[in-house]
Amino acid sequence: MPHSDTLSSYRPHDNSLLWEGPVADPGAVSAAVARARSAQPGWAGAALDDRLAIVRAYKAEVEANAEALARLISEETGKPYWEAKTEAGSTAAKVDISIQAHAERTGSHVAPFKADPAAANQALRHKPHGVLAVLGPYNFPAHLPNGHIVPALIAGNAIVFKPSELTPAVGAFMASLWARAGLPDGLLQVVQGGADTGRALAAADTDGLLFTGSATTGAMLARQFAETPQRILALEMGGNNPLVVWNLEDAHLDAAAAIVVQSAFLSAGQRCTCARRLIVHDADHAPLLDRIVALTERLIVDQPFADPAPFMGPVIDNRAADRLLAAAQGMGGKTILPLLRLHEGLPFLAPAITDTSGLAPADDELFGPFLQLIRVADFDAAIAAANATRFGLSAALIGGDRALYDRFWQGSRAGVVNWNRPTNGAASSAPFGGVGLSGNHRPSAYYAADYCAWPVASVEAATPHLALPAGVR
């Protein structure tokens, strides 16, 4: 983004201007936090049912505007329209899941106090943190920030949300749906801008920050937050995810190829859970690789609304495409399918596979349609290769029997471990997060409720009542 006071967002598929708006400077960020701060106590003090009525009205707004939201997501990210519609669906579905998670994980419980059950109760209740910052990524510009915002509002927090600088229009549209749902003024502030605005928001007077984005940014935020350990920091970051194929029956070769292709190239490889490394048995991988290559060559890469519908669109912008092309070239190895720019001046890439067996490429997340093939001699080596990463987000095994999968599950260091299913497409009704550089042990999705509120334990008696235990003359 050029340094200016105006933020512009372009459609990746044709580079046309989609949205423009002012960049929030540090003063505007502080003012937004102050507005959120003064609105929050009234929201936290309202009855839960009153908050839930507004959150449900937001769900109705998302559903009523699902087509417009999906179109905007497609225009701003380049992802296929069919896929953007699933994102709009997940955005609405998050509401019921979050209401259930709030009740189950951060609800209130009252029981007789063990030490004095006749006179006192012990109670567990939760309180919101106050004002929470939300920083969103571009790849799911609605669903992922929404995954922080909905549970945080249910818990009684106010939000200052900075969408990705690459997807400001989707962020602004989501905020307009909250306003239409009747969310009181001040509770959801949107500040637009890039890393500078993000830094200003992280430094502002909030009670915490909920982040989804790259490990590089997450690590910077962790350093910044080290100075204020009293503020909560939830980090959802990237991965360098392994997909192991082992002991596969011939009858399952086509299904396995489909799982590999979907794992690696869905959303043009721009999902945190995409498979980056395909680990196979050196001795018998050829028939599978043939099918993967054949299927990859048949994938339609086109603009989001094209007919026939594309499997994948462009990556987010030309800078991302250039970075990916340079990283692929610098990796070495044997090219099986080259990473190619399909249209001069636009970020459409042909999905690529490179055999990096025996090399030690940098353990970085290449956030695009690029898959490494790694051939190994035995299953222990496959598990070791799968875990040879600083990240630990998702992993999957294709093939084998239950005993082999149990070995894989036991040996895998990742927060999502699947069997005969892609590495991506996690269930929103499950917790979602990773270990290593993929997160800071504050998983999101179903467990987002946990980082949106803090527990208060109480022992309560209607009248003062205590006899000292001993030692009184």
Integer-rounded Cα radius of gyration of the chain? 24
Distance from C-alpha of 225 to C-alpha of 88, rounded to nearest angstrom? 32
Closer Cβ to ligand NAD, 310 or 439, answer by number: 439
Among 78, 198, 422, 443, binds ligand NAD (CB under 6 A): 198
Closer Cβ to ligand NAD, 180 or 199, answer by number: 199
* Burial track 24-53 (b if 16+ CB lie within 10 A, e otherwise): beeebbbebbbbbbebbeebbeeeeeebbe
The reply to whether 143 sits near ligand NAD by the rule CB under 6 A is: no
82 in the Ramachandran plot: left (φ > 0), alpha (ψ -120 to 50) or beta?
alpha
H or E element in which residue 81 lies: helix 81-106
Among 203, 220, 306, 435, binds ligand NAD (CB under 6 A): 220
The reply to whether 272 sits near ligand NAD by the rule CB under 6 A is: yes
The reply to whether 217 sits near ligand NAD by the rule CB under 6 A is: yes
50 three-state secondary structure: helix
Question: Tokens 């090399």 map to which residue?
Answer: 359
The reply to whether 263 sits near ligand NAD by the rule CB under 6 A is: no
What letter would DSSP give residue 346?
S
Beta strands in 217-286 (DSSP E): 232-236, 241-245, 275-281
The distance of closest approach from Cβ of residue 344 to ligand NAD in the complex, given in angstroms and rounded to an integer, is 24
Burial of 377 per CB tally in 10 Å (0-12, 13-18, 19+): exposed
Among 8, 214, 357, 387, binds ligand NAD (CB under 6 A): 214
Choices 23-31, 55-63, 70-78, 232-240; region in contact with ligand NAD by CB under 6 A: 232-240
Distance from C-alpha of 75 to C-alpha of 92, rounded to nearest angstrom? 20
The reply to whether 137 sits near ligand NAD by the rule CB under 6 A is: yes
| 272 among known catalytic residues | yes
The reply to whether 242 sits near ligand NAD by the rule CB under 6 A is: no
Of how many residues is the chain composed? 473
Distance from C-alpha of 4 to C-alpha of 22, rounded to nearest angstrom? 9
127 bridge partner residues = 454
The reply to whether 135 sits near ligand NAD by the rule CB under 6 A is: yes
Among 12, 136, 314, 400, binds ligand NAD (CB under 6 A): 136
The reply to whether 398 sits near ligand NAD by the rule CB under 6 A is: no
Distance from C-alpha of 243 to C-alpha of 61, rounded to nearest angstrom? 38
> Residue 71's CB: how many other CB atoms inside 10 A?
17
Distance from C-alpha of 309 to C-alpha of 313, rounded to nearest angstrom? 10
What letter would DSSP give residue 283?
G
CB of 202 closer than 8 Å to CB of 225: yes
Choices 60-68, 157-165, 180-188, 295-303; region in contact with ligand NAD by CB under 6 A: 157-165
Closer Cβ to ligand NAD, 379 or 428, answer by number: 428
Name the residue number minimizing CB distance to ligand NAD.
Answer: 198
Among 237, 376, 396, 414, binds ligand NAD (CB under 6 A): 237
Closer Cβ to ligand NAD, 114 or 223, answer by number: 223
Task: State the binding string over 358-377 for ligand NAD (x if CB under 6 A, else -).
Answer: -------x-x----------
Among 202, 331, 352, 353, binds ligand NAD (CB under 6 A): 202
Q: Which one of the listed residues 76, 272, 274, 452 is annotated catalytic?
A: 272
Q: Which one of the listed residues 236, 274, 365, 452 is annotated catalytic?
A: 236
The reply to whether 164 sits near ligand NAD by the rule CB under 6 A is: yes
The distance of closest approach from Cβ of residue 133 to ligand NAD in the complex, given in angstroms and rounded to an integer, is 9
| 236 among known catalytic residues | yes
* Burial track 295-315 (b if 16+ CB lie within 10 A, e otherwise): bbeeeebbbbbeeeebbbbbb
- Nearest CA to 312 among 269, 366, 267? 267
Choices 15-23, 211-219, 282-290, 336-344; region in contact with ligand NAD by CB under 6 A: 211-219
Choices 40-48, 196-204, 349-357, 457-465; region in contact with ligand NAD by CB under 6 A: 196-204
Catalytic residues: 236, 272
Binding residues vs ligand NAD (CB under 6 A)? 135-140, 144, 162, 164-165, 194-195, 198-199, 202, 212-214, 217, 220, 236-238, 272, 365, 367
